[in-house]
């Protein structure tokens, strides 16, 4: 069985123990044994990053560009291989996995370019004979804590800007899916980036993540994950004077108005709610549908769901792979029972199933669940399930749809299906979300524009695109007597 170590100071370091990386489509398939570090590994990684920071932060922009571009080229050249690994360990379908790897490569390409586009300002002072320069500088050692649902894209969209702007990195990937992060770390290690600039420490979040957050020499933490953990990290970072960036939960609404194109509305709802097994923070789990289209929409959605194939993530013809783990499957099925108990009507799916490919392999498979006759106050419409579970809420008109859409403690993504320019324009302005989709799935974003939400979904500067510099740099103002 292959074993995979942590990367600290340019060296592969054996863990204190190992954990098995299991294929959720085939529980007999062990991908490898991955190192489990401890606080001493975090201390060593931070020390290596601190030692590398002075030279890296003042390195030439061409050198940083070349390193990131080289990383991007290898990722893209290996996208099918790495996409297969991603599907094998996380449960996305193979096409989705390949697409995610390609996105990781594109992100590194984009930030390779940003190395060459670093800009500042020169302004006149209000005092004669004085020049003012405004520049951005790297912040230091950055701790990155990433989730299991996008095991290569999210590490990429944190690592690439951190390195592009001259910071050094300690990455702690999700314990459930270390394989993709390790493969990315290996590519970065061989890119020519100096030892200590990038470090990988795998292990439990309660051990590695906590040690990163508490470490005095870590200047900033970027975290994507659960609300509870994120809030704890925010409190610790504020106490420690660290910069913090959080991407947490979502309870994203998909509004369908009477004037919507029915076929388009059904397809984008299926994509939003169920693809990637619903395991996306931008997935929609609340379908808010107006009166006149409601019966036809529910009927058409049930018919479309009947055509979904659940099966081995790497098998041809699979639409939706397994849930990532036994614990996540139990959570999803638990919410199905909660919704039934609260009075929602199960209109489709909602049960654990065998692999539909006929292979007989044991995995964490679940038929996507659809509830109707639900109300906004039900837990199924208040809490993030993070699985292939969606509910339909019936409303009178656009005004009630908008109010219902905004009736949530979250605010990441919101969608509307309509042919009305008036309603689309109003929704874009008044939906309380960081990202709004018109006649598109709520899940699915570009890598060169800002990503993030409002309310309980996000905290701190935006991720991705040029706005990433707001987190990964510090602004300096310099005055010079002419």
Catalytic residues: 247, 281
Which of 470, 480, 479, 481 lies closest to 136, judged by CA? 470
Which of 388, 391, 413, 415 lies closest to 401, judged by CA? 415
Contacts of 352 by beta carbon, 8 Å cutoff, 6+ apart? 329, 333, 365, 366, 367
Query: Taking a C-beta distance cutoff of 8 angstroms, is the pair 257, 264 a contact?
Result: no
Instruction: Give just the sign of the alpha carbon dihedral 54, 60, 61, 62.
Output: negative
To the nearest 10°, the Cα dihedral for 145, 151, 155, 157? -130
Contacts of 179 by beta carbon, 8 Å cutoff, 6+ apart? 4, 21, 31, 32, 34, 85, 86, 88, 89, 151
Distance separating alpha carbons of residues 42 and 16, to the nearest angstrom: 12
Distance separating alpha carbons of residues 65 and 4, to the nearest angstrom: 28
Query: Taking a C-beta distance cutoff of 8 angstroms, is the pair 461, 245 a contact?
Result: yes
- What does residue 269 show for φ and ψ, rounded to 5 degrees? -70, -40
Taking CA atoms, 226 is separated from 9, 302, 390, in Å, by 30, 31, 19
Distance separating alpha carbons of residues 167 and 196, to the nearest angstrom: 11
Which of 268, 243, 247, 249 lies closest to 257, judged by CA? 268
Taking CA atoms, 374 is separated from 227, 285, 366, in Å, by 24, 12, 21
Query: Taking a C-beta distance cutoff of 8 angstroms, is the pair 363, 322 a contact?
Result: yes
Contacts of 378 by beta carbon, 8 Å cutoff, 6+ apart? 339, 342, 343, 344, 391
b (16+ CB within 10 A) / e for 368-400: bbbbbebebebebbebbbbbbbbbbbbbeebee
């Amino acid at each position: 069985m292959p074993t995979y170590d942590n990367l600290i100071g340019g060296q592969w370091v054996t863990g204190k123990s190992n954990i098995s990386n299991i294929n959720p489509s085939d529980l007999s398939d062990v991908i490898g044994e991955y190192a489990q570090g401890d606080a001493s590994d975090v201390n060593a990684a931070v020390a290596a990053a601190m030692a590398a920071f002075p030279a890296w932060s003042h390195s030439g922009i061409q050198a940083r560009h070349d390193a990131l571009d080289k990383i991007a080229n290898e990722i893209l050249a290996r996208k099918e291989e790495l996409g297969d690994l991603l599907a094998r360990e996380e449960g996305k379908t193979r096409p989705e996995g390949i697409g995610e790897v390609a996105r990781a490569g594109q992100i590194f390409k984009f930030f390779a370019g940003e190395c060459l586009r670093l800009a500042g300002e020169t302004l006149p002072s209000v005092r004669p004979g004085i020049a003012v320069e405004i520049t951005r500088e790297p912040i230091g050692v950055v701790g990155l804590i990433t989730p299991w649902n996008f095991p290569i894209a999210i590490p990429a969209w944190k690592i690439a800007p951190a390195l592009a702007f001259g910071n050094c990195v300690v990455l702690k990937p999700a314990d459930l899916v270390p394989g993709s992060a390790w493969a990315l770390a290996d590519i970065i290690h061989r890119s020519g980036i100096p030892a200590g600039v990038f470090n990988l420490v795998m292990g439990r979040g309660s051990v590695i993540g906590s040690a990163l957050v508490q470490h005095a020499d870590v200047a900033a933490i970027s975290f994507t994950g659960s609300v509870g953990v994120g809030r704890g990290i925010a409190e610790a970072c504020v106490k420690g004077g660290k910069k913090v960036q959080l991407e947490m939960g979502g309870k994203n609404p998909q509004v369908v108005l009477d004037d919507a194109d029915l076929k388009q509305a059904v397809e984008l709802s299926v994509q939003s709610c169920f693809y990637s097994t619903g395991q996306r923070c931008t997935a929609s789990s609340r379908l808010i549908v107006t009166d006149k289209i409601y019966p036809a929409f529910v009927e058409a959605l049930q018919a479309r769901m009947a055509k979904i194939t659940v099966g081995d993530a790497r098998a041809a013809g699979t639409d939706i792979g397994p849930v990532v783990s036994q614990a996540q499957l139990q959570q999803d099925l638990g919410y199905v029972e909660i919704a039934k108990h609260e009075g929602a009507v199960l209109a489709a799916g909602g049960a654990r199933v065998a692999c539909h490919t006929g292979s007989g392999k044991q995995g964490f498979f679940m038929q996507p669940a659809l509830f109707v006759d639900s109300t906004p106050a039900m837990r199924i419409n208040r809490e993030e399930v993070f699985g292939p579970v969606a509910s339909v809420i019936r409303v009178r008109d656009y005004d009630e749809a908008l109010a219902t859409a905004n009736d949530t403690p979250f605010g990441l993504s919101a969608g509307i299906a309509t042919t009305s320019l008036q309603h689309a324009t109003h929704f874009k302005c008044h939906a309380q979300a960081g990202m709004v989709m018109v006649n598109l799935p709520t899940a699915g974003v570009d890598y060169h524009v800002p990503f993030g939400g409002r309310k309980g979904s996000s905290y701190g500067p935006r991720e991705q695109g040029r706005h990433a510099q707001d987190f990964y740099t510090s602004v300096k103002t310099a005055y010079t007597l002419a």
